[in-house]
Amino acid sequence: MKLKIHIEDKEWESEYALAVIANGSIYGYDFAIAPAASIKDGFFDVILVKKTNFLDMLC
């Protein structure tokens, strides 16, 4: 999926395989998608995983 994200004066635009907005550290059943996230801090944590070719990761 192609995303364009604007936050204040910053912008990101790329192809992503996964985009998660987390309020807590656990996603689903015991999957720590954002280990440092806290439901008490008043912030959302944004996790973006770029789309890549598996063969590119091996080289």
- The whole-number average pLDDT for the span 8-16 is 90
Q: Helix, strand, or coil here: 57?
A: helix
Please name every residue paired with 15 in a beta bridge, in sequence order, or none if there are none.
Answer: 2
The DSSP result for 12-30, as a single string, is EEEEEEEEEEESSSEETTT
> What is residue 35's predicted lDDT score, i.e. its pLDDT?
86
d(CA 37, CA 30): 14
d(CA 19, CA 50): 9
Segment 13-50, tens digit of pLDDT = 999 888 888 888 887 788 888 888 888 999 999 888 88
Question: Which residues lie below 8 Å from residue 26, measured CB to CB, with a gap of 6+?
Answer: 32, 33
